[in-house]
Amino acid sequence: MKTVLITGGTGLVGKTLTKFLLQKGYHVIILSRKKNPSANSDANIEFAQWNVDEQTVDIAAVQKADYIIHLAGAGVVDKKWTDSYKAEIRNSRTLSSKLLIDTLRDNTNKVKAVVSASAIGWYKPTDKLHTEDEPADESFLGETCKLWEESVLPFAALDKRLVTLRIGIVLSNDGGALVEFKKPIRLGIAAILGTGKQIVSWIHINDLCNLFINAIENEQWTGTYNAVAPTPVSNKELTLLLANKMKGKFFIPVHIPAFVLKIIMGNRSIEVLKSNEVSSTKVQRTGFEFLYPTCKEAVEDLCS
């Protein structure tokens, strides 16, 4: 039985990924600030303590790992982008990487590969199809993603196979963007953001979890990959697909003006109004097959 150490294992992606790994027969260790953050009856899950601020970690837990999946990071849209929260967003990613790297460097271990999260916030909002070889945007999120990805590069210097997944908008019933889209639709309002023309590069949570597992199991995977479905859609198309599935004809499409979103969200509104068409070609060339390649299939599954 192989062991996977997960940072950020109690988040949206981490929880579902843990279930997938257990189904595949892996033993999972979740790094957490608390030793036993929740009741756990599965013998193949254990929790180990770490503290990124204090740069401490359970070394024995790291030494058990065959693979590391690095998801840790403060939520990008969870709070207002004050200077202090921007620092937290960056530091939670880069300092957690540093702690893991220092631990592997200073202690014997058997880690074969590290798979790190990043985000499509890396890309500039343009009309072109984005591929992995582009430079990072100079915006806050672009610079954050750049620092994030740079922070994991020393894993490769430690002779660990390194894979970075730039994750798109994750569609899941357990949290994230989809849950927010559904709230007004339940009231009969299909809330289209801004013009609704902005392109959303998305991925079904199950496909994302399978991508992480492919990244640890397939030794040919190395470098950076876009973790997005093959068929990006506009914000309007996604919203109307959801509304039709949830309400049939019994809803009213309403455009929420950009200035209203700016008032409500502040600078975070940049993210929901930004158009980002991101390519999945590199992932598909590995032979990976998406369970939900179209947004219609994803919505039908998640709203069934």
What pTM was computed for the model? 0.95
Q: Please write the tens of the pLDDT for every residue from 10-52.
A: 999 999 999 999 999 999 999 998 766 555 668 899 999 999 9
* Among 122, 16, 113, CA closest to 65: 113
Distance of alpha carbon 67 from alpha carbon 109, whole angstroms = 10
Q: Collapse the DSSP code of 231 into the 3-class scheme (helix H, G, I; strand E, B; otherwise coil) and give the result.
A: coil
Domains of the chain, start order? 3-170+203-228+277-290 (3.40.50.720)
Q: Please write the tens of the pLDDT for every residue from 180-209.
A: 999 999 999 999 999 999 999 999 999 999
* Among 242, 240, 252, CA closest to 187: 252
Distance of alpha carbon 232 from alpha carbon 201, whole angstroms = 5
Partners of residue 226 on adjacent β-strands: 166
Asked if 33 contacts 74 with a C-beta cutoff of 8 angstroms, the reply is no
Looking at residue 26, what is its pLDDT? 97
Asked if 18 contacts 46 with a C-beta cutoff of 8 angstroms, the reply is no
